[in-house]
Structure 1
Amino acid sequence: MEVLEFISHIIKEPGPYQPILAVIKGFRNGAVYGAKIRAPHALVMTFLFKTGSLRSKIWSILEATIQHSRNLAFFVTIYKTITKLLHFLAGEKEKRHSFVAAFIGGYLVFGENNRINQQINFYLLSRILVGLAKLAVEKGYFHAPKTDPFPYFAAFVWGTVLWLFEHERHTLQDSLRSSMVYLYDDSEKWSSFWNFLWHNK
């Protein structure tokens, strides 16, 4: 009972324990967010595109969810631990601390080349490029475009990905390639009304 009262007290008034509690809460939030993001995505993609028994599909969903959840939890823990340690050693927060901590965490957690890590890293890369472009305009390195550049960006992205799919598809990620096969190759094939409108094959 005393232990529970002590824990309850430091959670309400963390004081010197704040950095440790922040790391623990970061682990919790990483695990929960990873599960929330991956579970519905894995559910939809598995039942839409994967073949096999119901048991194998459920296991695949659980496996992907656990991996995403675990990776985010460990990354947040590593990142917060290192940044707080660097802040303590330097006596104040410095901009480079966040990069150093995330660099180490990214290498340790998201450096393994697997399907889940590829998706997460590619997702972040697109956001980084947009963020860096906005920052370059804000800093005055480039002038803000007079018209919305998004239509040209969309045209370039779709033109490039379809060119790669049609002529160099081996270069595309497996999940993207399978989605595009479903959309563009499978729509060329049918043998009856059943697999023309209702069923793909």
Structure 2
Amino acid sequence: MAGDGASFRALLRAVNAFLRQRRYRTALAVLKGFRNGAVYGAKIRAPHALVMTFLFKSGSLREKLKSIAQATYTHSWNLAYFVFTYKGLMALQSQLQGKKIPFHCFFAAFMGSLLVFSENNPINSQITMYLLSRILFGLSRLAVEKGYIPEPKRDPFPFVTALVWGIVLWLFEYHRQTLQPSLQSSMTYLYDDSNVWHDISDFLIYNKRTDSK
């Protein structure tokens, strides 16, 4: 047993020494990017899938758990694969041109997305919409920083959020089919299901869709 412990410590020292070598740093960074993408994807998707599945999906417990596991795996794998591809292409371009330039990151992400996120499924759609909302804010701030548009004298957030809520509820009421299914489910629960009840049980305790006929 003592010999096994000594062998393990020697192996651990050898691995740590390898990880500290600068010549392998770029390749190892790509591998760690894959690891971090997988972990982050699982952390983000698992609780979201858990809540949405038990709130809005019907079926047996086994079916629900399977759905959660599949969604978590897909998100985790896609993000890991994308980070691996992006960092690999960034390293390759830098190696070929001898330096890093801004276009590299756009090209690497563009190609990585074509490889990983091109399938139109609920998870990829959610990721894309999440990023779209943030780049709109980011581009707006960049336009102000660069002087392309004047800096607002008052915080524009109240107007922006009012505009967003106004548009999304208009779409929900009159063009519901244009919204993503999970958003439709959430809004149906909030705005449609709250119009229906039969007694105190489905007014305060239960929602009509699962407990009332």
TM-score range, shorter chain: over 0.9
Q: What pairs up with 1:57-68 in 2 under 5 angstroms?
A: 57-68=64-75
Distance 1:26 1:3 in 2: 24
CA RMSD across the alignment: 1.2
Question: Are positions 1:121 and 2:128 aligned together?
Answer: yes
Unaligned runs of at least 5 residues, structure 2: 1-6, 209-213
Aligned counterpart, 1:10:
18
Q: CA deviation at 1:4?
A: 6.0
- 1:5: Cα distance to partner? 5.2
**Identity over aligned residues, as a percent?**
61
Out of 166, 187, 209, the residue aligned to residue 180 of structure 1 is 187
SS of the residue corresponding to residue 118 of structure 1 reads helix
Q: Secondary structure at the match of 2:153?
A: coil
TM-score (norm 2): 0.91
Q: Aligned partners of 1:15 and 1:161: how far apart in 2?
A: 51
Q: CA deviation at 1:6?
A: 4.2
Q: Identify the residue that residue 198 of structure 1 maps to in structure 2.
A: 205
What are the residue-to-residue correspondences of 1:1-201 with 2, within 5 Å? 6-11=14-19, 13-201=20-208
Deviations 1:113-165 (CA, angstroms, capped at 9, x unpaired) = 00000000000000000000000000010111000100100111011011111
Instruction: State the 1:8 CA deviation.
Output: 2.6
Name the CA distance, whole Å, in 2 between partners of 1:93 and 1:3: 36
SS in 1 for 2:154: coil
Deviation at 1:10, TM superposition (A): 1.4
* Paired amino acid for 2:124: N
Counterpart of 1:39, as a letter, is A
Matched residue SS, 1:142 = coil
Residue 7 of structure 1, CA deviation: 3.1
TM-score by length of 1: 0.96
- Equivalent-residue separation in structure 2 for 1:76 and 1:89 (angstroms): 20
CA distance in 2, matches of 1:74, 1:17: 20
Q: Which amino acid aligns with 1:22?
A: A
Runs of 4+ residues over 2 Å off in structure 1:
1-8
5+ residue gaps in structure 1? Answer: none
